[in-house]
Structure 1
Amino acid sequence: MASSIFLLALLALSSPFALAFDPSPLQDFCIADEMPRVFVNGFVCKDPKEAKAEDFFFSGLDKAGDTNNKLGSKVTLVDVQKIAGLNTLGVAVARLDIEPYGLNPPHTHPRATEILTIEEGTMYVGFVTSDNKLFSKVLNKGDVFVFPKGLIHFEFNPGTKHAVGRASLSSQNPGLIRVADALLGSKPSISDDILAKALQLDRKTIDWLQSQF
């Protein structure tokens, strides 16, 4: 029995799924040091003796993001790039501002599950599973919704007032892939023939769509 438990634990630790998560800290903290020219899965640790309170601090999420854009939305992300002390801790936070009828377009976070809390207004949110099933909900102030890691999701403001959400993410560097940007705005561009076949559209329409990005 003991040998079986040990074997299962060894397999779990060696699986790609287990290694996909942010690394667990082996000390109190590991403040990101961006100066050394060493590439690792994260950042090199700053000498703990040089740590200061500012390494764990960020100010500004009380301020609304600039939503003066085509989408009418703005995400203000606080990750390891903004708080060096988040390195190895596996969390990040974001503020989401959406104007009436604005949209945070379909996107994924390849390294993080997201939990969203509505602080002001109303949002229609949803995510799509790997078998193309949509889970969606209209959220109001105080409501909470979870987007599983890696799945395409979106937030839309169907109301007439500015909406604000606060998101927590299970990675110090969640990553962001916007579906439309990735397909139509890649550099260099994906072949018209490929996109036309994938999206079942003619090449003229594909060319027009790419011009918007």
Structure 2
Amino acid sequence: MLATRFTSLIAIMVMISSLAYASDPDPLQDFCVGVNDSKASVFVNGMICKDPKTVTGDDFFFSGLNRPGNITSPVGSKLTQVFVDKMPGLNTLGISLVRIDYEPNGGLNPPHVHPRASEIIVVMEGTLYAGFVTTNSKDPNIRNKLFARILYPGDVYVFPRGLIHFQMNVGETKAVAFASLNSQYPGVITLANSLFGSGPPIDPRVLARGFQFDNTVVRDLQSRLWMQN
């Protein structure tokens, strides 16, 4: 009897293990619509691999993170991204890097989300106010809770995957930070750009009621030019 139970337990464990290994990998793009057409072009969840015989050292190289970014954007910051589109050697490695430059007195990396990555940031110059907000948890003690603090050179902060986060330069001099993310293409959803700069525009009634704004406020926001920093 004991041997039979042990055998059954082993069988169940093997089945569970098999199901776990059969799960889908994390997505590396916003969507991948299935096509039932043998003549269709090939689209993969990531990038098609280059022939190993043609790979060179340049495929694993990027130059330029020592150069300040142009911070004359409307939000006063500039992101220099090293994603897989800039460094093909990152493909399948699950990592990427960003340099962020902020103008003095309010340069902002606006509230945004990375749907496919957590992020860790280290401040190199200046003083940043950085933070993230939790989800709509059932626990009222941590529902939509802000975790934030002032960061100085050498300080490190982490933003969990999928949570709204931001950084703002609260100092009187420029600020520079480097961020690492655990995805070759983490994706970026800047909330203001996505909601008020979508094309075609979202029905103003949706945003007016969702944000408890007047329709005229929503239309004014939708009429603005929303640019990436």
Higher Rg: 2
- 1:107 to 2:112 alignment: yes
What TM-score results when the alignment is normalised by the length of structure 1?
Answer: 0.88
1:186 partner SS: coil
Q: Distance in 1 between matches of 2:135 and 2:207?
A: 20
TM-score norm. by structure 2 comes to 0.82
Task: Confirm or deny that 1:78 pairs with 2:66.
Answer: no
User: Which residue in 1 is equivalent to 2:18?
Assistant: 10
2:124 is aligned, of 119, 129, 133, to: 119
- Report what 2:58 is aligned to: 54
2:67 maps to what in 1? 63
SS of structure 2 residue aligned to 1:9: helix
Note closer, same or farther for the CA distance 1:159–1:39 as it changes in structure 2 (3 Å cut).
Answer: same
Equivalent in the alignment of 2:26: 20
| Equivalent residues in 2 for 1:1-213, closer than 5 Å | 1-15=9-23, 19-20=25-26, 38-100=42-104, 101-131=106-136, 132-213=144-225
For 2:16 and 2:158, the matched residues in 1 are separated by 30
Deviations 1:126-154 (A, max 9, x none): 11111211111111111111111111100
Match of 2:37 in 1: none
**Distance between the aligned counterparts of 2:66 and 2:155, measured in 1?**
19
Runs (5+) with no aligned partner, structure 1: 23-36
Number of aligned residue pairs: 197
Amino acid at match of 1:48: P
Change in 2 beyond 3 A, CA 1:189/1:98 = same
Deviation (angstroms), 1:15 = 4.4
Aligned-partner SS, 1:96 = strand
% of aligned pairs identical? 50
Return closer, same or farther for 1:139/1:20 CA change in 2, 3 Å cut-off. same
Separation (CA, whole Å) in 1 of partners of 2:18 and 2:218: 49
Q: Point out where structure 2 has 5 or more consecutive residues left out of the alignment.
A: 1-8, 29-40, 137-143
Deviations 1:38-87 (A, max 9, x none): 21011111111111100100000000110011111011100100011111
